[in-house]
Amino acid sequence: MKTVFTVILVASVATFVGCASFRPPADMRGSDVAAPDQAPVEKQYATRAPNADLTALIPRTFKGQPPLIPHEVEKYLPITVEENDCLDCHISDDFKGRKMPRMGDSHFSQTEKEADGSPKVNMSRWQCNSCHVAQVDAPPLVDNTFVGNK
């Protein structure tokens, strides 16, 4: 009987200590589930103009990755059916005497040419910013151990 009593006493104390140190889980959202979502802080996109500095290119993290855009894009958007300012620079490796990263052959039609015989952009590559994204200086939301594989 005495042993049973001791066991119950020890269990009760352990439960009490356990409860006292209980902390509710911290939510990553920073607010209660029922609270309305807060608008995220507006991030500042890169404002650096392209300057033909090929050292500014952002290293790729895996093979076949669409390279990230290292310069500002605001001035060149939106891309419409009639107009695509990105092509001014990226259709060839030279723009007004400055060296440019030319889009790969994958971006040009294999079957059609422009009227003047120059390469024609493949329409599946027309909307550049559906694959290439501009950059903000934002830390990852969650720490991770991802290692790129080029």
Q: For residue 77, which of 122, 134, 20 has the smallest C-alpha distance?
A: 134
Binding residues for ligand HEC restricted to 50-69, rule: CB under 6 A:
50-54, 56-57, 64, 66-67, 69
Q: Is 97 left (phi over 0), alpha (psi -120 to 50) or beta?
A: left
Does 77 interact with ligand HEC (rule: CB under 6 A)?
A: yes
Give the type of residue at 49. A
Of the candidate residues 14, 15, 39, 89, the single one contacting ligand HEC (CB under 6 A): 89
Q: For the CB of residue 46, give the shortest distance to ligand HEC in the complex, in Å.
A: 9
* Degrees to nearest 5, angle at CA 56 with 54 and 62: 95
Q: Is 119 near ligand HEC (CB under 6 A)? A: no
Does the protein bind ligand HEC through residue 120 (CB under 6 A)?
no
Q: How many residues bind ligand HEC (CB under 6 A)?
A: 39
Q: How far is CA 100 from CA 73, 85, 94, 95, 139, in A?
A: 15, 14, 5, 7, 29
Residues of this chain that interact with ligand HEC (CB under 6 A) are 50-54, 56-57, 64, 66-67, 69-71, 73, 76-77, 84-90, 95, 100-101, 103-104, 106-107, 121, 125-132
